[in-house]
Structure 1
């Protein structure tokens, strides 16, 4: 019992970020960048990107379990991400905050800037560093494009441009994005965004928790 109490006590001094698996590498990079040594990270499956209805129930369970483990300071590393406000209800239930915005493509570009270009980007297909790294696993194979390229028009026919939101400067990822745009028959644009509002969101959460360092 004493050992269990000590574990819970240790977690009181931590900031737990429960995030989308698509953001794991970026959150850890920001943690190092801002020296947020007390930040701990756990992720829900990245594939929930395709199943937004699963996010809120899974997050509800994850936060409940984290509270039981002794975490008092929790931040949600998601925007709304297609949950239609259901994630906000989970946040309200547990008294936690999340990243501002409709999705990561917005806060990567910084919300203030995204609001200016959102309408113009309506017909654009966004890619990030993660999606470049996982293009085959997230698009080619699940959609069957590796075996049936004729399906490209069905899935991507309503887009007119591929926009690569680059978190890092990696020529190999650039090549993937360019090749994807060519394969999908879309115009190409690269936007170097860095981590956008993510550092600000994590720094705010750490500050509110009183454990910014």
Structure 2
């Protein structure tokens, strides 16, 4: 059992500017912990979290990977989230987190083409009007547009180019995002393996983890 990262350095008012870890975050943490031995067996060299928010997920992933020369990259469109991610790593004695202030994987490709061993994304999945998508503040952490899928669908075509041959992608979704449809898209359009590996109800929301690989 790996302890949840210490977030005591994040002040209450900071959560007005960065996404506060909630049930979706903890489901993603549980999926990573469930695959602890598998992840360790891959000996990851490069890990990437898209939309890192507080940095909680990458910090736990770094603890799972353990002492190695692995590099932990994160991206977030919110510059405050990038700094919070860095501080969360330091608070938990993880010094190898490199936050990048960018949208999705802008600036990552082609440099890291097929080099990312572990990819994580807890996307903005809430169903919202299209106009709310793409802000640079806290709204960017939840506004997913039509079916909550606009940001998710923007990333899917890049997954096959991001993941290394043995790489694993952990994607969090809710029922409104049509996770089974995403599984079929990854299989039929992109020739990837995809499956729902975990699901949980959180209040009115039903949340899923989809694992995708070559």
Same-fold status (TM-score > 0.5)? no
Task: Indicate the TM-score class for this superposition, using the shorter chain for normalisation.
Answer: 0.3 to 0.5
Task: Name the structure with the higher helix share.
Answer: 1
Give the number of the structure whose alpha-carbon radius of gyration is greater. 1
Task: Name the structure with the higher strand share.
Answer: 2
Higher relative contact order (CA 8 A, sep 6+): 1
